[in-house]
Chains A and B, each alone.
Chain A
Amino acid sequence: MRALDLSPGRVGGARRALLRAGQGAALALPVAFLALFFFYPLFAIARLSFADGMAGVLETLGTRYYWRALAFTTAQAALSTALTLALGLPGAYVFARYEFPGKALLRAVAGVPFVMPTVVVAVAFGALLGPRGLINQALQALFGPATPPIRPGGLQAVLLAHVFYNYTVILRLVGGFWANLDPRLEQAAAMLGASRLHVLLRVTLPLLAPAIGAAALLVFIFTFTSFGVMVILGGPRLATLEVEIYRQTAQALRLDVAATLALIQLVCTLGLSLVYTRLAARAVTPLELQPRSYTARPPRTRREKVLVGAAMLLITVLLGAPLAALALRSVLAPGPGAPRVTLAAYLALGQNLTGSAFFVPPTAAIANSLRIAATTTLLALSIGVPAAYLLARRPTPPRPGAPLPEKRLAVIALLDALFMLPLGTSAVTLGLGYMVALSVPGLGGLRTSPWLIPVLHTLVALPFVIRALAPVLRARSPRQREAAALLGASPARAWLRVEVPQIAPALATGAVFAFTVSLGEFGATLLLARPEAPTLPVMIFRFLGQPGALNYGQALALATILMLVTAASFLLLERLRPPGGEF
């Protein structure tokens, strides 16, 4: 038997050195990337912000308002995460365990909100739930109250929007892991007399814990740094730290206050990630992961059918309806009178009506968005996969039976948490950081480099790739690879034929999220995109900056195109399967 176990005792000296070198390189790449493209710009802006002393830090820390904002930020993020989990977990179960018609399409639809610019989502919600929206009009026509009966506002609208945005994170991250979980574990427990609830609480949920934790962490950080949803749907009275950072940076130019708040945000993200990684490292259970064709089947009993139907309905109503309302608006002619379908807004997109030098045809914007998203995906995978491998390594005791090397555990946990940080960083802070870092003489050329935006997006995409992969990597059992080796497969072959198919679904999940994050990113892109190469969200924003029916129509048309491009990309990405496995 060849040496497969990487524990020092079994590997020869030369090979060990080689392995060490390989591991070193694999670790150096992600760490160098993070240091160069995240910590350096952040350091540049921090140094500038505190150039005039630390008075701003004390002033900020002494302002009660900011502490209230921090409390609110945390509370709404916790609420949003709980709500998203409550609605998302049943969906994840249904998608993991059952095959039903329209599954791929529904999964794609569920991912579309993630890329939609908030200002467009506000339009979609308004078209559906607003005072003159479809639902209120229908209710008023049916029951005749003079004033619109539904007026969601403030926190309710924010929570609803957060679920709308993040449902897909639970669906894909938890559902993806769940789909490869061996159902025989649950069946065995049931056979031994455990009730359904008992099986769920004592078997399924503990096994799922790493994936649920990973998804919850991502949703929490995402909603913790919520900006667009807050300012547009929440109204001006609700302010997260992110909103305050933007106000202090963009308008007031109180960089010291902004940087202090950004640091508080970072510390919270880091602390939370550390807690998570420590817990996740303990919750590891080696599992025999199973292919999806084995774990999923069509619903048979009435109960199962109702469950599947309910999940389909939820996605259609909660996620699909606002998107459909938006698409509908984009093809309805403006003005009073009977509704009339027109493609005028779409046709106008291709024409440079005002002869502007900044005119960009929609195809070019789509190509920009897709090119940036594809580059981001490749970058995020090639950096995220080695990173995930190293972070997911099970620590081995120096001697059998000896205690785990606490120090190394702590280093890995810290590294793991550091990779989560970009997600908890204010877009405007990072954008300005880039600007400052690049305004060093000699680096100015990078400001217009086509790599700049993909690199920035990769920072935000990395946590998704790592979080999608880590639970699978931690759970994989060495036994299958050992069996392959026993049957004569070389380590490389065993990795390619046994391990790659096992991690392929998680890789696909990571890739989809990297792609999605990039398609939808707006805050930093707006600051750094070259004017002649805008992405779709930036173009939508531009149209919404001018009055007039045609501008509004073109914004909605582009939003609809963004929706369709996203959904089509998801469906294509899901078709990509690695050779040799059907997990």
Chain B
Amino acid sequence: MPRLIVCLAVALLLAACGQPGASRPTPPPLVTPATSVVPAGATPAAGTRRIVVMTHDSFSVSEEVLAGFTARSGISVEFLKAGDAGTTLNQAILSKNAPLADVLFGVDNTFLSRALAADILTPYASPVLANLPDDLKLDPENRLLPVDFGYVVINYDKAALAAAGLTPPTDLRDLTLPAWKGKLVVQHPATSSPGLAFLLATISHFGETGPYTWREFWRDLRANEVLVTQGWSEAYYTHFSGSSGAGAYPLVVSYTTSPAAEVFFSEGRLSEPPTGNLLVPGGSFRQIEFVGILRGARDEAAAREFVDFMLQPEFQADIPLQMFVYPANPRAPLPDVFLRFAELPPEPADLAPDLIEQRRDQWIAEWTEIVLR
């Protein structure tokens, strides 16, 4: 029996390597694998200039695109991934006296004001900015430059709704009706960025004053048995019925690009997404991600070159399939799966970053009181 486990381990490992029956000895030896500080593909030989980019776990770029940058500029790029977007920014703020990196990527509009107030970034008016839409540029001093954006919305499970004889709601308030009791999963806004984005969308839509504010909406959602999870992964994979995790809830807070990702990551099994976007008025929030040069960067010129590169069409065109968000530069072409299945919500919520930074903690505290206590 013990031998069986070892055999199984080796067999699955071989399958995972994609070369069943290969004569390569497995399991691997207990030595450091040959990892360089630069991701494979980039050739550090091209020059001695080196920059460090601090970013969050979800960041990705094609090997090829990155290698192209290094080959052209002679700058090798090292990445420092420091947890989720909030944790990453906080690390950058905490280490501002001896910056760990030259460039910071991944600050979004909900954290923009905090990053600017912490005075960790240095302005850079990139020439490429001229090609970007003005509504994405939220910092007039150009300390943070927009790179990509995406929309947080509710995804629904097409098959589950059809089986229950339901048609997707047309208004956010429909979600408080008995037909939608126990059907929606959301994330805790204190620990999840889509969770916060959705809360902000409802605040923007229902407002803070009047007979029916966002507070009443959430009170009604609670009465209608909304499920709250800590993060996106549990919400989507454990509780949402439209994902491979096959949970019990047909509605989940996710992104407008998630249905496209379901098709893309189905290995050709799906030609249509199993899920749809609930594009109701006020039901979406636009997250914009920014890049900035950290104060005290060792090689500011190289950092500038990298920021330019991130805004130019080559990198921008790489964004959709690497991170499943939209490129900020409209000159970058969108991949087919985006054109067909990713949708742009008609009227996303609009809240000023300053207001978000000012009120976020209080809103989250109130939300926690209303929904969880």
Interface residues of A (CB under 8 A from B): 48, 102, 104-105, 108, 119, 122-123, 126, 130-132, 148, 231-232, 235-237, 246-247, 249-255, 334-336, 343-344, 346-352, 354-359, 361-364, 366-368, 370-371, 374, 428, 431-432, 435-436, 439-441, 444, 447-448, 450, 526-527, 529-533, 541-542, 544-553, 557, 560-561, 564-565, 567-568, 571
Contact = CB atoms under 8 A, between A and B. Distances in A.
Given A253-B90, A253-B93, A364-B33, A354 B79 contact: no
Contact of B244 (A350, A444, A532, A552): A552
Contact of B191 (A247, A349, A355, A358): A247
Contacts of A254: 361
A549 B269 contact: yes
Contacts of B373: 237
Nearest to A332: B244
B256 to A, nearest CB: 11
22 contacts: A132-B247, A232-B234, A251-B191, A350-B19, A357-B62, A357-B63, A358-B59, A358-B79, A366-B27, A428-B87, A435-B95, A439-B94, A439-B100, A444-B100, A526-B57, A526-B83, A531-B39, A532-B36, A533-B35, A546-B261, A547-B324, A553-B244
Interface stretch (B8-16, B211-219, B348-356): B8-16
A439 to B, nearest CB: 4
Contact of B62 (A247, A355, A435): A355
A343 B15 contact: yes
B2 A105 contact: yes
Interface stretch (B127-135, B223-231, B276-284): B223-231
B74 to A, nearest CB: 18
A359 B42 CA distance: 13
B160 to A, nearest CB: 11
Looking at chain A's contact residues, the main secondary structure is helix
Interface in B56-100: 57-67, 79-84, 86-87, 90-91, 93-95, 97-100
A544 B233 CA distance: 6
Contact of B2 (A108, A123, A547): A108
Contacts of B93: 253
Contacts of B9: 561, 564-565, 567-568
Contact of B324 (A439, A527, A546): A546
Interface string B33-48: 1011101111000000
B100 A374 contact: no
Nearest 5 pairs of A and B residues by beta carbon = A548-B265, A350-B18, A564-B9, A231-B230, A439-B95
A59 to B, nearest CB: 13
B243 A347 contact: no
B254 interface: yes
Contacts of A432: 90-91, 94
Contacts of B95: 435-436, 439
Nearest to A549: B244
A237 to B, nearest CB: 5
A363 B245 contact: no
A121 to B, nearest CB: 11
Given A346-B12, A435-B95, A352 B63 contact: yes
A547 B265 contact: yes
Contacts of B265: 546-551
A440 B241 CA distance: 48
B40 to A, nearest CB: 7
A105 B5 contact: yes
Contacts of B33: 364, 367-368, 371, 533
Given A231-B231, A364-B35, A547-B265, A350 B5 contact: no
A359 B269 contact: no
A550 B83 CA distance: 23
A439 B36 CA distance: 22
Contact of A374 (B27, B30, B84): B30
Given A363-B17, A548-B261, A553-B244, 12 more contacts: A131-B248, A346-B15, A347-B18, A357-B60, A363-B13, A367-B33, A371-B33, A527-B87, A547-B261, A557-B12, A561-B16, A564-B9
Contact of A531 (B65, B81, B91): B81
Given A104-B2, A348-B267, A564 B8 contact: yes
Contact of A252 (B29, B83, B190, B238): B190
B16 A130 contact: no
Nearest to B31: A371
Interface in B279-302: none
B57 A542 contact: yes
A427 B228 CA distance: 24
Q: Give the most central of B41, B60, B266: most A CB within 10 Å.
A: B60
A334 B269 contact: yes
Contact of B16 (A232, A346, A428): A346
Given A105-B1, A123-B245, A235-B228, A552 B237 contact: yes
B180 interface: no
Nearest to B233: A544
B80 A531 contact: yes
B258 interface: yes
Contact of B372 (A237, A362, A545): A237
Contacts of A355: 62-64
Given A108-B5, A346-B12, A549-B265, A132 B248 contact: yes
B334 to A, nearest CB: 15
Contacts of A546: 58, 261, 265, 324
A440 B94 CA distance: 11
Contact of B262 (A336, A450, A530, A549): A549
Given A108-B2, A564-B9, A123 B247 contact: no
Nearest to A542: B57
B150 to A, nearest CB: 12
Most chain B beta-carbon contacts within 10 A, residue among A132, A236, A545? A236
Contacts of A530: 35, 37, 80
Nearest to B254: A547
Given A526-B57, A550-B265, A552-B244, A371 B98 contact: no
B148 to A, nearest CB: 15
Instruction: Name the residue in B97, B231, B267 with the highest tally of chain A Cβ atoms < 10 Å from its Cβ.
Output: B267
Nearest to A565: B9
B183 interface: no
Contacts of B233: 119, 541, 544-545
A246 B63 CA distance: 33
B125 interface: no
Contact of A232 (B87, B230, B246, B364): B230
B261 A362 contact: no
Given A357-B63, A571-B5, A439 B28 contact: no
A390 to B, nearest CB: 30
Contacts of A551: 265
A357 B63 CA distance: 4
B114 interface: yes
A236 B186 CA distance: 11
Nearest to A362: B16
B35 A532 contact: yes
B232 A363 contact: no
A74 B121 CA distance: 43
